[in-house]
Amino acid sequence: MALTAAAVSVRPSSSTLKLPAFSAQTRLLVIAPHPDDETIANGVLIQRVRAAGGEVKLVLLTAGENNPWPQRWLERRLWIGAADRQRWGQRRHIELRQALQQLAVPSAALQTLEWPDMGVTDVLLHSGSRAVEELAAAIRAFCPNIVAMPSMDDRHPDHGSAYVLTRLALASLSDAPLQLAYLIHGHSAHERFVDMIGTPEQSATKLQALNAHHSQMALSGSRMRRLAGRVERYTQVLPASPTPRDALPWRPPAWLRPLLRLSVVDRSSVQTWPWSRAPLQRDGEGRYRLELPDAAAGGPRFARLACALPSLWIFDRWGWCEI
């Protein structure tokens, strides 16, 4: 599934990351946790692949149904029940199809997994290998040579967990495609990236696709346009980390540790502990190291730190890291 390497219309960083030339043989798979992620972060990339004659498939993880404030505003209601959320998800699904039409992506190219909005992390931690295999089956059915997925640095929990699920799913493939990570919420520390620059016409089409997401533009139009107006930036994801992390990046204060939960996932298992019971060793520099057997089949392994207390703040404080 390899593509011939060549330059495309991009703006590389000082540490150049080159993408393959897009052609009729390009098969781009976009993993989107919610409707509108495909446009905000990938609208130009999708158009460039389609303009070159390539195929695009979108795997939508959730319907974006757990989005109460715009729904309260547009429907003039305070209480949002299960049926209301389902109806809202259906509305967002229709909007997504309209956005894909603007981007020249046929409706048949959309596959929905119907996982719960704001629940992708729970799907990963509680369904484990079943969720990984469901996503892997979607990937195998399309045989992509490029996969665009959310970044692990994205602080929206659905996005960070989507990255982990995608990496675990891709690890089961014998011929791994080019893997690109996009970030919407937060900041990336990666030094190697490539910026996808849109022509004025492509930027205008991207805005039209964004406007198709009427429900999201009602209360957050300015923020949505600002996010979509940024240059689409991608970092390359290596199939396996060449230098696995030997220590966790977190040093939580002592008073907070009783409230923390540490989870570790790989292709074959999911483990979660209270911080005090996790298999941790502290080194002479105050860093915490996990004492675990080697990852199953040599595949990727990830750790997540989270607070057990519920919060109105939806974004992750610590998120995921690869270990």
pLDDT digits (tens, 9 = 90+) for 115-152: 999 999 999 999 878 999 999 999 999 999 999 999 99
Residue 3, pLDDT above cutoff 90: no
**Model confidence at 2, in pLDDT bands (50, 70, 90)?**
very low
Phi, psi of 204 (to 5 degrees): -65, -40
SS (HEC) of 95-160: HHHHHHHHCCCCHHHEEEEEECCCCHHHHHHHHCHHHHHHHHHHHHHHCCCEEEEECCCCCCHHHH
| 1 has a pLDDT exceeding 70 | no
CB distance 215 to 70 below 8 Å: yes
pLDDT band at 313 (very low <50, low <70, confident <90, very high): confident
Q: What is the dihedral of CA 50, 55, 59, 64, to 10 degrees?
A: 20
Range list of β-strands (E), the chain: 10-12, 27-32, 55-62, 110-115, 146-150, 178-182, 194-196, 232-236, 260-265, 270-274, 280-282, 288-290, 302-307, 319-322
Q: What is the DSSP letter of 252?
A: -
Contact 148, 180 (CB under 8 A): yes
Q: Taking residues 225-231, what's their average pLDDT?
A: 95
pTM above 0.85, yes or no: yes
Q: Tens of pLDDT along 63-117?
A: 999 999 999 999 999 999 999 999 999 999 999 999 999 999 999 999 999 999 9
> What confidence tier does 11 reach under pLDDT thresholds 50, 70, 90?
low
Q: How is residue 194 annotated by DSSP? A: E
